[in-house]
Structure 1
């Protein structure tokens, strides 16, 4: 998964709460372009919503687990009293998002894009029958070259003692 910048006028806060009413949307651009290309500066400022402006808006209802005071921040920290011995002072207030643990909170106005992993072999696996099985003792499996001898030039082994002889 990769995070890319959200170029929309509306931030992606669906995991953190829900929208009670839709946000004001800009008119669609006449040409292919980004939503703010044909807007005046004051219109662009009106339609563009930041994470904080949406969270403070009456059109948005936040998740009830969002901390509001010091006690809530300490309770939602990554520190666990039974697991850590002699923690630092910062550990009691260190939040999970700052140590890259995924939670419901959104810290940046980004979108998550899932990238399909490439095949490790570089091609899809194909299972098929083997047409010919070559013996590992075959002379034709030796490194090929113009000096490689593929026959024994008239020599053969005697069946009794295995000595070479030439006809």
Structure 2
């Protein structure tokens, strides 16, 4: 075989060395550099204000109310052995922050929202048929290609034809 034969098929794929030219960019470049654009809204608002999760990940963060060990965790639980005897292990470890709002800690960045007042419920009209109709009657049913008159509802195709066996 001659050594001049190219083993790769046509067309050749482009790579970093054989790129044919500059392509049109689909996205317009930014008009400001990144370090200046971060001072504008909404980036400055998002960048300057820390979330509770990011504050808690900080090295210097210390929560005085957090339990120091397993004994403190058990003592802070809402379980009362005299009133709730032989509860499951999960129930004995429930903390006050889970059930009440009077624990004095901020758990989320959100404020408390009051539930909207419900409108007065309108009474639902109940209509009773004075004459009991047969459960096998197809009168008054919703028209469809699946109803009781079509062999358990599955014998007709969507175009109206029948399946054959």
TM-score bracket relative to the smaller structure: 0.3 to 0.5
**TM-score, normalization: structure 2?**
0.36
Identify which of structures 1 and 2 has the higher relative contact order when contacts are C-alpha pairs closer than 8 Å and 6+ apart: 1
**TM-score, normalization: structure 1?**
0.36
Which structure's residues are more often strand, by fraction? 1
